[in-house]
Amino acid sequence: MADTSCIFCRIVKGDLPAYKLYEDEHCLVILDVNPIASGHSLIISKEHYPTILDTPVNILAHITQTIQKVIPGILKGTNAEGFNIMQNNGRCASQIVPHLHFHIIPRVTGDNIRFNWLPRSADKSEFEAITVRIKQHIESPAT
């Protein structure tokens, strides 16, 4: 169901303009209007799902197939050598629009695009403790 306050829902509905690259029954691929690189594209679900955790598995599978379908065209159209796929969930993770979307960012050597990925060190006891805490909250597959 569309959220009338959501910019992506309004684009899907046709109420707002977009540079459309691809469209099918489940998703829309558009150029990002605030691109990190030329050809920076967004793959958005047509239905309103706030995060990846809210999205049905069949829709995620379809979007993944669409990513594989459109990236070769994005690469050729931008003369890119590679790409990043980014998908953010929650404001603290830089999700600006709370509607499922994936960023496809074309890359070339020397483009100076940097993601502020600042690794930190952790010791063995921290790795062991967080492993236990996470594993107790992950459901085991059915046997």
Instruction: Render pLDDT for 50-60 as a digit per residue (tens, 0 to 9).
Output: 999 999 999 99
Query: Does some domain include residue 83?
Result: yes
Instruction: Render pLDDT for 16-33 as a digit per residue (tens, 0 to 9).
Output: 999 999 999 999 999 999
Query: Does some domain include residue 52?
Result: yes
Q: What is the pTM of this model?
A: 0.88
Query: Does some domain include residue 97?
Result: yes
Residues 6+ apart with CB under 8 A from 11: 17, 18, 28, 30, 44
Query: Does some domain include residue 110?
Result: yes
> Of residues 48, 101, 103, 137, which has the active-site annotation?
101
- The range of the structural domain enclosing residue 99 comes to 7-115
Catalytic residue check, 101: yes
